């Protein structure tokens, strides 16, 4: 089994260092896969080159280092796909994450057990510095998890394994429309799901995301939820007929705005975490609304260092 593990990086030397160390500590049952690492640097100056050069001497597997000068997540992900060599399977993980030792082994186990075309796993948060209590009470950085084997409508590139042959069968790459907005991974995997390929969940294939202090605040949380709502509408508009999806998006937008207003009304009795939950719900509803009208929000013009 030949697997290319791909990660993008851009001016995150500490995060990339943690990731490469974590990948080097992976453990496997017998027989282990043949692994290649593909690191795509989205900094035109190639600032991650020295780190990759240093680690290339220590890593258990070959490392392919690529500079993608065109700024944006989608071009960088496509550069990764162009450099996976003869791999049968492709993994994506982020440069602000660290895999558990059995991460890849568990993705492989679940793929075999469920004959899956795509396997996704959970991302758990790690705060790089102390955060306010209301952040913890609101559980704002905890993502939804599912029972192992649950079939999913889409996946994300922060923790995923998929068959390489899908790329050729669908003539598929990441859409550069989402280069600075995000959402390119949902768009990518939602297309795969709509073609009938099986996407399943592996709940023990855990990676840990390092959360910088710049994200542990209400402004970032609200802005991120606005962006998610915005890209959700944009992607649905791109994949489905307008007559079928626009009424649904409009109703969802109104529903989320109503939920947000309701939560905000509880703020005097429940505390700050409920106020931020209400603000996020309103932001998500507003993002759905602006996305309906084709107005993108380009969150990824800035890089968060971790």
Judged on CB neighbours under 10 Å (0-12, 13-18, 19+), 247 is: exposed
The token pair at 7 is 């990660």
List, in order, residues 6 or more apart from 272 with CB less than 8 Å away.
134
- Measured CA to CA, the distance from residue 254 to residue 290 in angstroms comes to 12
Name the CA dihedral angle for 147, 167, 192, 89, rounded to a multiple of 10 degrees. -10
Q: Which DSSP letter does residue 19 get? A: H
Place of tokens 């990518």: 188
Judged on CB neighbours under 10 Å (0-12, 13-18, 19+), 114 is: middle
- Measured CA to CA, the distance from residue 91 to residue 245 in angstroms comes to 31
> Strands across the sheet with 123-127, in order?
97-99, 207-211, 123-127
From first to last of its 306 residues, the chain has per-residue pLDDT tens of: 999 999 999 999 999 999 999 999 999 988 899 999 999 999 999 999 999 999 998 999 999 999 999 989 999 999 999 999 999 999 999 999 999 999 999 999 999 999 999 999 999 999 989 999 999 999 999 999 999 999 999 999 999 999 999 999 999 999 999 888 989 999 999 999 999 999 999 999 999 999 999 999 999 999 999 999 999 999 999 999 999 999 999 999 999 999 999 999 998 889 999 999 999 999 999 999 999 999 999 887 665 455
The token pair at 243 is 């007559």
Q: Domains of the chain: which residue ranges?
A: 2-212, 218-301
- Measured CA to CA, the distance from residue 249 to residue 255 in angstroms comes to 10
Strand, coil or helix: what is 260? helix
Q: What is the pTM of this model?
A: 0.94
The token pair at 173 is 């790459």
Best CATH choice for the domain 2-212 from the list 3.90.45.10, 3.90.550.10, 3.40.50.1100, 3.40.50.1980: 3.90.550.10
Strand, coil or helix: what is 177? helix
């Amino acid at each position: 089994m030949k697997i290319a593990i791909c990660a993008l990086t851009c001016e995150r030397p500490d995060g990339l260092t943690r990731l490469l160390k974590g990948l080097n500590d992976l453990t496997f049952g017998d027989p282990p896969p043949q692994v290649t690492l593909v690191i795509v640097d989205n900094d035109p100056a190639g600032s991650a080159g020295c780190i990759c050069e240093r680690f290339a001497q220590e890593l258990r597997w070959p490392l392919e280092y690529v500079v993608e000068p065109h700024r944006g997540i989608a071009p960088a992900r496509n550069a990764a796909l162009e450099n996976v060599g003869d791999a049968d399977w492709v993994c994506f993980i982020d440069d602000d994450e660290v895999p558990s030792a059995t991460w890849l082994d568990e993705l492989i186990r679940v793929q075999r057990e469920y004959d899956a075309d795509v396997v996704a796993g959970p991302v758990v948060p790690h705060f790089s510095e102390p955060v306010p209590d209301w952040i913890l009470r609101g559980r704002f950085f905890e993502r939804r998890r599912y029972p192992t084997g649950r079939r999913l409508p889409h996946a994300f590139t922060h923790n995923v394994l998929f068959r390489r042959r899908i790329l050729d069968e669908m003539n598929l790459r990441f859409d550069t429309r989402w280069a600075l907005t995000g959402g390119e991974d949902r768009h990518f995997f939602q297309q795969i799901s709509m073609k009938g390929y099986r996407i399943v969940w592996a709940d023990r294939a855990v990676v840990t995301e390092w959360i910088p202090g710049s994200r542990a605040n209400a402004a970032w949380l609200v802005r991120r939820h606005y962006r998610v709502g915005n890209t959700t509408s944009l992607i649905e508009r791109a994949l489905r007929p307008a007559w079928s999806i626009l009424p649904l998006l409009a109703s969802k937008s109104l529903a989320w705005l109503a939920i947000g207003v309701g939560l905000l009304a509880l703020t005097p009795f429940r505390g700050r975490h409920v106020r931020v939950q209400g603000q996020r719900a309103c932001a998500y509803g507003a993002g759905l609304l602006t996305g309906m009208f084709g107005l993108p929000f380009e969150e990824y013009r800035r890089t968060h260092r971790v």
